[in-house]
Amino acid sequence: MLDALGWGAVAAASLLVGAVLALLRTWRAGLIGGVLAFGAGALISSVSFELAQEGLRLGGPLPVAIGIAVGALAFFFANRAVDRIGGRKGGGAGGLPLAVGALLDGIPEQAVLGIGLASGEGVSVALLVAIFVSNLPESIGSASDMRANGKGRGVVLGLWAAVAVVCALATLGGYALASVAGGQVRAGIDAFAAGALLVMLIDSMVPEAHDKAGNRAGLVTVIGFAVAAALSNLT
């Protein structure tokens, strides 16, 4: 169990690292857009190869379809709640949708990591690197937007530290569930993360990347997809 907590902390640490990097300097809008585009490509790869494909292998189409629908609805309604909060405060949500997306993706993703550890599958270095590749752009982009919208450094760091801790603890939850989690449960967890990610990508991450990086966003997204796909398929 200590191993699960340790690997979970390693995987989640990139969220806090990204927030720190965003606060250490002022990032140009084009650079933030490029980082977000690269991360979007990595997340599309994760949905394709780490989540949906693995879910289909483990549990078949029905758990995957249900999980994707539930994950999509979860992010949709959570994002609406964030927008309402921003509207009541008289300003934009300031990066919160990306934080919500990181949380809704990170919990099931790291739960799957814990299940794999408990099942004796070990930890793939390629998977850990892929998690870093996708987490950093989310936290960098979100933290930069929060600072631009007037959020204090302590608030930004506190939020991303909380997200990282919750995601790390989800690895322990997955480890504990391993004894009762069959293929269909694991497939549903994978699919939930995929559904939440897809809605977040289309509603928040991709549009923001294009707004900040312009036409370069599409090319950088493809590069991010290619890098993450290669990492995901390393043997």
213 band by pLDDT with thresholds 50, 70 and 90: very high
Residue 193: predicted pLDDT: 83
Between CA 207 and CA 219 the distance in angstroms is 14
Q: Choose among 28, 37, 29: nearest CA to 220.
A: 37
Residue 204: predicted pLDDT: 82
Residue 123: predicted pLDDT: 63
Between CA 52 and CA 64 the distance in angstroms is 7
Q: Would the pLDDT of 210 be above 90?
A: yes
Distance of CA 185 to CAs 1, 104, 178, Å? 20, 17, 10
Residue 179: predicted pLDDT: 66
Residue 91: predicted pLDDT: 47
Are 128 and 187 within 8 A, CB to CB? no
Q: If DSSP codes are grouped into helix, strand and coil, which group holds residue 109? A: helix
| All structural domains of the chain with their residue ranges | 2-232
Q: Find the radius of gyration of the CA atoms of the chain.
A: 17
Please count the other Cβ atoms lying within 10 Å of the Cβ belonging to residue 88: 8
| CB-side neighbour CA atoms (13 Å) of 157 | 8
Between CA 211 and CA 46 the distance in angstroms is 23
The DSSP secondary-structure symbol of 94 reads T
Are 114 and 8 within 8 A, CB to CB? yes
* DSSP collapsed to 3 states, 147-160: HHCCCCHHHHHHHH
Are 98 and 204 within 8 A, CB to CB? yes
Q: What does pTM read for this prediction?
A: 0.79
Q: Would the pLDDT of 146 be above 90?
A: no
pLDDT digits (tens, 9 = 90+) for 6-24: 888 888 898 999 899 988 8
First to last CA, the chain: 25
Which amino acid is residue 160, in one-letter code? W
Between CA 169 and CA 161 the distance in angstroms is 12
Q: Choose among 117, 110, 111: nearest CA to 132.
A: 110
Element spanning 16, H or E: helix 2-24
pLDDT digits (tens, 9 = 90+) for 174-194: 888 776 777 888 888 888 888
* Averaged pLDDT, 71-86: 81
More confident residue, 41 or 86: 41
What percent of the chain clears pLDDT 70, i.e. is strictly above it?
Answer: 89
E strands, 5-46, where?
none
Residue 90: predicted pLDDT: 44
